[in-house]
């Protein structure tokens, strides 16, 4: 079976962490689907630990459990270069972390699952879900 590679944006994980409903989050649906190969950027790890809630032991445990459930794509020189080019060439300018996440998706031949499609508008070669 050929799996679809999907980079999960930080906001999908934050939504999952905040979820208090009974239904499954987009993160859970993505990770549990056998047809999807989920991964996250190391930039997402940084973004998850910026929040003050990560100071709470219970929240840190939840974050670590999430990180253990997906493959992590490290920021390579190629990703850094493409992220810089995305920031240079996309108007309005894409934020630093969003450019890295987009470059991670593009170079890993993956779609990007995000709740904020407007943050990635106009990035050439990026497929959004």
Q: Residue 56 corresponds to which tokens in the numbers above?
A: 């709470």
Measured CA to CA, the distance from residue 81 to residue 85 in angstroms comes to 6
| Tens digits of residue pLDDT in 77-104 | 999 999 999 999 999 999 999 999 999 9
Q: Which residue, chain included where needed, has tokens 């879900």?
A: 129
| Tens digits of residue pLDDT in 20-38 | 767 899 999 999 999 999 9
pTM here? 0.92
Strand, helix or coil for residue 3: coil
Q: Choose the CATH number for 4-128 among 1.10.10.10, 3.40.50.1010, 2.60.120.10, 3.40.1160.10.
A: 3.40.50.1010
Is-contact 34 1, C-beta < 8 A? yes
């Amino acid at each position: 079976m050929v799996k679809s590679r999907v980079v999960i944006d930080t906001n999908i994980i934050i939504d999952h962490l905040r979820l208090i409903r009974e239904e499954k989050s987009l993160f859970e649906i993505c990770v549990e689907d056998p047809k999807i190969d989920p991964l996250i950027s190391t930039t997402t790890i940084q973004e998850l630990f910026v929040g003050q809630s990560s100071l709470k032991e219970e929240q840190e445990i939840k974050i670590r459990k999430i990180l253990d459930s997906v493959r992590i794509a490290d920021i390579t020189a190629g990703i850094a270069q493409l992220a810089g080019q995305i920031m240079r060439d996309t108007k309005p300018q894409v934020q630093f972390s969003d450019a890295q996440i987009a470059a991670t998706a593009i170079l890993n031949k993956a779609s990007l699952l995000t709740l904020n499609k407007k943050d990635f508008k106009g990035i050439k070669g990026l497929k959004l879900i």
